[in-house]
Structure 1
Amino acid sequence: MAAVSRNHRRLGKSMKIGQRGVVTEAAGFKVEDDIQRLRGAMKGTGTDEAAIIEVLARRTIAQRQRIKEGYKQQVGKNLADDLDSELSGNFQKVVMGLLMLAPVYDAYELRSSMKGAGTEEAALIDILASRTTEEMKAINAVYKKEYDNSLEDDVCGDTSGMFQRVLVSLLTAGRDESSAVDQALAAQDAKDIYEAGEARWGTDEVKFLTVLCARNRNHLLKVFEEYKKISGRDIEDSIKREMSGSLEEVFLAIVKCLRNKPGFFAERLYKSMKGLGTTDSVLIRTMVARAEIDMLDIKVEFFKMYGKTLYSFIKGDTSGDYRKILLELCGEDK
């Protein structure tokens, strides 16, 4: 995992972090004290995982960057490398994610999802369907710098068909970011989607792509209202009827993120843990990426949707230090 460059630090500062995160700036933050605690946690035989959790899961991304820089100055080594060699398993994956700036982590997750045999479509969908235009531009810049290839080229080399076209449309970050709603256009968009799907034999997916990947959020919420009036169905129901597989998943993700992004992530977390086994890649990625942005809202939505707290779900589905660090990122059991 590459060290964070000056460019990356600048990108991190430009990212607007929301005020609905569980992880907030640690009061009385002293870089020197945190470096000493981390060094102590890795000295001698064995590792003090509790100290690592206490420092890294309770600091913001910006504070962690300062710890990384200070560590390198004082020890002459990368903190990420030292921790990587000390830790293992899912706990290690969470810690490594916490040490990265948001666009660096997203780029890393996208790259990992396409490396080797097979593709983890969930990572491509979760990240590309949910990030803002500004976030997507930062991810593209980091990806190019880190991996010496464009994200678009890698996505095109690893996916195909209409699914690929939707992903490319999302990663080019061309969505209208205004809040203007054109009533006449919203009605026309709804009609176009209806005629491209429910009203015909077969589905013209391009029309769905054109509307869902380009229009601004407020406009699309109006389109969804108009669509229900015309078709008598919710847009999500129509997508489920008209599409299948990864294409269905990505279009549903776009709609859900536009309507209620914390609700989308609450559902992803629930599905990653329900039933037998845990989809750790989804659980880790969501907890690390949203801890500082909207975890408070995700927890509210999770309880509303499933009648149980996210905390209790994580506690019942994970174990050891992996469980402990995820619960720190989740915050209180409420």
Structure 2
Amino acid sequence: MALVSEFLGQLTLAYGEEKDPKFPTVVPARDFDPVRDATRIDAAIKTKGVDEQTLIDILTRRSWEQRKEISFEYERISKKDMAAALKGALSGSLEAVMLGLLKSPAEYDAAELRASMKGLGTDEETLIEIVCSRSTEEMVTIKRIYREMFKKELDKDVAGDTSGNFAKLLLALVQTKRDEPTNVVDYEKIDEDARALYEAGVKRKGTDVGIWITIMSQRSVPHLQKVFERYKSYSPYDMKESIRKEVKGDLEKSFLTLVECFENRQLYFANRLNDAMKSKAAKEKVVTRILVSRCEVDLMKIRTEFKRQHRKSLYQTITEHTKGDYQKALLSLCGGDD
């Protein structure tokens, strides 16, 4: 009996781990030697003119856990903080990539969120991208890290920096009240939610945004995917078209981001990368943020979606739209051509 229960326990564990599988392009390096890496980084920074290639080779091909060990050894060897040393040695887009890689994905997201709200004006684009595209699990970690890093609560900062329905939606997402996915398909609830979305929007004059916010911030992702499918039997428009007709500005962008991420999160990131690189002022910030924050999460899958959607690999697109050491760092994070 003990053997059977142990076996079942292992099955449950294995199944639990599969809940959010990873598709990274950056994985832990084999034969890892943090002292050797730290020594090479120290020499690269001290070299006249800085040896950027060595910094790229090491930092873009180690996992975050390994980079943390390298930072520790670097400080021991050189008596300097590695982030400060890199800041002094590098500049511009390459500096942003290298410093980003010294943070865990959650620390990086927390820092990006803080930067988007600090000082005058708000960078709504960053706020929308991170808050609307992260899973509940990721958002729970980001909130904890945000509190540890900045001694502030993320929801309070969001509330203080945004207003109206846009603030209500972001706060509802930050509060992470989303249902856990279940194996039971509740067709009655799917129909009820689809009809509620239709009656709160397209069917009436003026939109009852509160109902949209509740449904989209609290229902599980598999449930919502079925709701949007069912929605088409009530509305002459699909959910995205309805959003474009009913709301405008940052609220529209937020709802669209949510729906795109519910449907296919990696495709959303692939399209963001494509738009950012093809825009006149190539939005390096967006490209940097997605590659740094997703390289240990799902960048391999984003690459697949990119090729499928845009008929060109992410690797080729980076090659065409970036240059210099920044390009080399991005291509290394990208992890190969498709």
TM class by smaller structure = over 0.9
Mapped pair 1:127 → 2:134? no
1:1-334 paired onto structure 2 within 5 Å:
18-179=21-182, 180-334=184-338
Contact 2:200 2:207 in 1 (8 A): yes
Q: Is the 8 A contact 2:180 2:220 kept in 1?
A: yes
SS of 2:282 mapped into structure 1: coil
| Distance in 1 (alpha carbons) for counterparts of 2:31 and 2:138 | 30
State the Cα distance separating 1:30 from its structure 2 match. 0.9
Q: Contact 1:107–1:139 (CA<8 Å) still a contact in 2?
A: yes
User: Which deviates more from structure 2 when the two are superposed, residues 53-62 or residues 133-142?
Assistant: 133-142
Q: Which shows bigger deviation, 222-231 or 172-181?
A: 172-181
Unaligned runs of 5+ in 1: 1-13
Assess if the C-alpha contact under 8 Å between 1:17 and 1:293 holds in 2.
Answer: no
Instruction: State the TM-score, normalized to the length of structure 1.
Output: 0.93
Deviation for aligned residue 1:170: 0.7
Q: What's the CA shift for 1:18?
A: 4.3
Deviation (angstroms), 1:302: 0.9
Distance in 2, matches of 1:127 and 1:260, equals 15
Post-superposition CA distance 1:261-295 (Å, at most 9, x none):
10010011111111312111111110101111111
**Worse-superposed segment, 244-253 or 179-188:** 179-188
User: Is contact 1:181–1:218 with CA below 8 Å preserved after alignment?
Assistant: no
Q: 2: distance between equivalents of 1:85 and 1:132?
A: 35
Q: How many angstroms apart in 1 are the aligned matches of 2:286 and 2:230?
A: 33
* Equivalent residue letter for 2:259: V
Asked whether the equivalents of residues 128 and 254 of structure 2 are also in contact (C-alpha less than 8 Å), the reply is yes
Q: Deviations over 1:236-258 (max 9, x none)?
A: 11111111111011111111111
| Partner Cα separation in structure 2 for residue 105 and residue 190 of structure 1 | 36
Q: Structure 2 CA distance, aligned partners of 1:228 and 1:29?
A: 53
For the pair shown, the structure with the greater C-alpha radius of gyration is: 2
**In the aligned structure 2, how far is the partner of 1:263 from the partner of 1:307?**
13
Write out per-residue CA displacement over residues 133-177 of structure 1, whole angstroms, 9 at most, x where no aligned residue.
Answer: 222111111111221211111111111110011110111111112
Give the deviation of 1:178 after TM superposition: 2.4
- Look up the equivalent residue of 2:284 and give its one-letter code: D
Tell me by how many angstroms 1:45 deviates. 2.1
- Paired letter, 1:319: K
When the two structures are superposed, what TM-score results if normalisation uses the length of structure 2? 0.91
How many residues align structurally?
Answer: 320
Give the match's secondary structure for 2:180: coil
Give the corresponding residue for 1:5.
none
For residues 337 and 58 of structure 2, the distance between their equivalents in structure 1, rounded to whole angstroms, comes to 20
- After TM superposition, the runs of 4+ consecutive aligned structure 1 residues lying more than 6 A away are none
Distance 1:307 1:47 in 2: 37
List per-residue Cα deviations over 1:303-327 (Å, max 9, x = no partner): 1111111111111111111111011
- Other structure's SS at 2:232 match: helix
1:170 and 1:69 map into 2 onto residues whose CA distance is 35
Unaligned 5+ residue runs, structure 2? 1-16
Distance 1:167 1:41 in 2: 43
